[in-house]
Structure 1
Amino acid sequence: MSLNIENEYGEIQIPDYEHVVETVIGQALDFIKCPYECEIYVLLTDNSGIQTINNCQRNIDAPTDVLSFPLIDYKEPGDFSVVDGDTCDYFNPESGELMLGDIIISMDRVYEQAESYNHSNTRELAFLIAHSMLHLFGYDHIDEEERKQMEDLQEQILNEKGYTRDYEEN
C-alpha cells in the first residue's frame, strides 16, 4: 500500500495520527478483501480548506467532516472485478498499484465531533477514515438500508483495531 498523508492543518492533537490513518486503511483493505496493492491520498486540513474543496468539487459552499473521491466506478460495492485487466484506467503505471482515491478530512471537525459524541479524537479520526474508505470501495449511505450497512461495516473495521467509542488517548 502506498499512502500519502499530507498535513495542511498544522499541529495535530492526536498521538501518532499517521499510524492511526495507516492502521485503519490497512484494516479496511483487509476487511473488504481488496486483492490489489493500493494507492491512497489523505489530506488533513481545517474547516476553511475542506469548504474550499467542497465548493470546487461539489458546489457546496460549506465545510464538512470528510470528503471521499473514489477513482473506481464499481458495479457493486467492494467488487473489484470492474478493474480486472484494465491497467490503463485504474492502476498507477509506475507502481502498478490500484489507485483507490482521495480522502480529505477537516481536523477542526474531528475535534468538534469527538467532543460532541463524547469519545476520543483518535476514535473520531479512525471513524472518518473507515467511513471514507468504504466510500472509496463504492459504498454509500443515500438510503436507510445503505446507511445501516455502512454503519455496520465501519464498526466492524474499527472494532477489529480497538477504535471503539470508549477508546482513550494514550
Structure 2
Amino acid sequence: MSLSLVWNNEQDKLDIDEQFIELLDKLLQKAGEAEGVTEGEVALTFVTDDAIHELNREYRGIDRPTDVLSFAMNESLDEEMDIVYELEEDEELDELTDVLGDIIISVERAEAQAEEYGHSLNREIGFLFVHGFLHLLGYDHQDVASEKVMMGKQEAVLAQVGLVR
C-alpha cells in the first residue's frame, strides 16, 4: 500500500476538478515524505459552513463553523478494536489500521480566509489540507512553540508545490 487520498464533495460552491485533486495528492505525498509516512489512507471531504458547524458542535462542543476538522484514526482505534476482533477476516483489520483519518474542509470558510489573507483559494485549501494531515499525525498548536513547528512544516510542504503567499 502507499499513501493515498480518497475524497468526497458535499458542497456546491466550488467545482472540484481532477487537476485540483492531483495538487492535493501531491501535497499529501510531500507531507508524508517529510514526516516519514509512506503508507495509509487519508479521507478528505469538502463541505459547507453549515455542515462543518454541525460537526464542530457535535464533536468538539464548539457552536460555530471552523475551517478544517481532523479525525485521526489512531485516536479512536482502541474503541474500534473490540468490534474488529469480532471480525473473522484479518484483511478487514488491516484495512482499518491503514486508515490515517478524515479531514473535513469548509469551502466557504476557505474562500473567506483566502480573500482575507490575500492569496489564492488553492493555497488556502492546500494549507488547510496539510494542517489537517499534520493533526492526523498527532501535531497540535496549543502553545507558541508547537504552533511554530507546525506552521514551519506546513509552509515547507506548500513551498515544494509552489503554493506560497
Q: TM-score, normalised by structure 1?
A: 0.80
> Post-superposition shift, 1:28?
0.9
> Post-superposition shift, 1:98?
2.0
CA change 1:14–1:40 in 2 (3 A) is: closer
Say if 1:39 and 1:97, in contact at 8 Å, map to a contact too: no
**Would you say 1:23 and 2:45 are equivalent positions?**
no
**Would you say 1:133 and 2:133 are equivalent positions?**
yes
**Would you say 1:112 and 2:112 are equivalent positions?**
yes
Which amino acid is 1:20 matched to?
L
Structure-2 residue corresponding to 1:45: 47
Distance 1:101 1:92 in 2: 16
> Post-superposition shift, 1:70?
1.0
Say if 1:7 and 1:45, in contact at 8 Å, map to a contact too: yes
Q: TM-score, normalised by structure 2?
A: 0.82
Q: What residue ranges of structure 2 are gaps of 5+ in the alignment?
A: 76-83, 86-90
> Post-superposition shift, 1:108?
0.2
CA change 1:151–1:57 in 2 (3 A) is: same
State the SS of the aligned residue for 1:139: coil
- Same amino acid, percent of matched pairs: 36
Distance 1:58 1:161 in 2: 32
Aligned positions of 1:62-141 closer than 5 A: 62-73=64-75, 93=93, 95=95, 98-141=98-141
Residues paired across the two proteins, number: 149
> Post-superposition shift, 1:3?
2.0
Which amino acid is 2:106 matched to?
S
